[in-house]
Amino acid sequence: MILDQLWQRGPEFLGVRYPIICGAMTWISDSELVAAVSRAGAFGSLAAGNLPPKKLEEEIERTRQFTGKPFAVNLITVAPNYGKHLQVVADQRVPVVIFAGSFPRAAEMQVARRAGAKVVCFASSESIAHRMIRAGADALILEGSEAGGHIGRVSLTILIQQVLFKVDEVPIFVAGGIATGRLIAHLLLMGASGVQLGTRFVMSQECRAHPKFKEAFLQARARDSVASPAVSSDLHVVPVRAIRNRGTEDFADLQIDLLQRLRRDEISQAQAQHEVERYWMGALQRAVEEGDVERGSLMAGQSVGLANRIQPIKEIIEELVKDAQEELDRVRTRLCSIR
């Protein structure tokens, strides 16, 4: 198939049949979801979030009990337990480590690489891409602002032109707003080695999220997925994309309160940032586990407008692959018809 030729670099790097990564979603991407994705021939990524180190170790062991396929652990570099998480993935000799949150130091990447892991980093510009490669990244992920959860400020269409078209030293996977095989086909034609999806996998039968959480996704339109507002640059708030609800308003109120306390020197910048992250993690957990869709955080990418049914993961993967191959066949027919 044309598809196999186009994305050859992705499966070789990840060690799976399909270079379709299920993005790590805190409270969602657990051992069962990761294993189900891996068993379907794609690539699962376990979300470390800010789990207690022992719990992360248990989740890694459970994932291995469920599947013998390769998988990744996604580490949040700004999480309080990040240092301990890094040691856990090294001790457990996880095959792939994805660094997220902010840019990891070269020494941190080397901890993972010395333990035999392949290192994957996010890049938001050409200069950062080269910086991550020099520091030891074996592959990159370009995640556009269309994605759900913590996001950068640049859309995937711009990142493709800034990075994908200019950097070829390592495999590059792309993410943000991807929900269909037809789009995957065109991203591969542009040079991507594979893709990462998150929102589409929330709409899987195997996803353990609360039924109310999934129902909110079913009812949402693309425009309902909004980036959180930043009240002031003094807080250094990383935007979060989620379905608009009362929790969005609560976050704006929290920022105003933290900003006032900062200006009165009642808290430090680090404490304010910790409060921001604590809010999002707590709000997301309430939504995912308790079904609090009013004030909890409904982190979702703009592709939520395309996620209109709940399916088994195997069916999602097969549909993506089938539609991608059919789109490539259509493109070939169209090009051959041009005189």
Do 131 and 152 belong to one domain? yes
Residue 82 lies in a domain: yes
Domains identified in the chain, total number: 2
* CB neighbourhood size of 306 (10 A): 17
Tell whether 228 and 328 lie within a shared domain. Answer: no
**57 found inside a domain:** yes
Whether residues 109 and 246 fall in one domain: no
Burial class of residue 270 in the structure, from the number of CB atoms within 10 Å of its CB (0-12 exposed, 13-18 middle, 19+ buried): exposed
**What gap in Å lies between CA 265 and CA 36, rounded to an integer?**
49
The predicted structure's pLDDT at residue 235: 80
Dig out the tokens for 311 from the structure: 């399916």
Domain contains 103: yes
Residue by residue, what is the 3-state secondary structure of the chain? Answer: CHHHHHCCHHHHHHCCCCCEEECCCCCCCCHHHHHHHHHCCCEEEEECCCCCHHHHHHHHHHHHHHCCCCCEEEEECCCCCHHHHHHHHHHCCCCEEEEECCCCCHHHHHHHHHCCCEEEEECCCHHHHHHHHHHCCCEEEEECCCCCEECCCCCHHHHHHHHHCCCCCCCEEEECCCCCHHHHHHHHHCCCCEEEECHHHHCECCCCCCHHHHHHHHHCCHHHEEECCCCCHHHCCCCEEEECCHHHHHHHHHHHHHHHHHHCCCCCHHHHHHHHHHHHHHHHHHHHHHCCCCCCCCECCHHHHHCCCCECHHHHHHHHHHHHHHHHHHHHHHHHHCC
* Residue 168 and residue 110 in one domain: yes
Give domain status of residue 278, yes or no.
yes
Asked whether residue 11 falls in the same domain as residue 94, the answer is yes
Residues 120-132 as b/e (b if ≥16 CB within 10 A, e otherwise) read bbbbbebebbbeb
Assess if residue 300 is contained within a domain. no
Q: Are residues 11 and 85 in the same domain?
A: yes
Q: Are residues 192 and 269 in the same domain?
A: no
Residue 114 resides in a domain:
yes
Residue ranges in the chain modelled with pLDDT below 50: none
Are 133 and 162 members of one domain?
Answer: yes
* Residue 179 and residue 50 share a domain: yes
Are residues 96 and 176 located together in one domain of the fold? yes
Contact predicate 200/220, CB 8 Å: no
Q: Are 142 and 173 in contact (CB under 8 A)?
A: yes
pTM: 0.93
The CATH number linked to 35 is: 3.20.20.70
The residue range of the domain holding 171 is 2-208+310-337
Could you tell me if 29 and 100 lie in one domain? yes
In a domain, 305, yes or no: no
- 274 belongs to a structural domain: yes
Q: Are 154 and 70 in the same domain?
A: yes
- The answer to whether 97 and 117 are in contact (CB under 8 A) is yes
- For β-strands 149-150 and 240-243, DSSP reports them as antiparallel
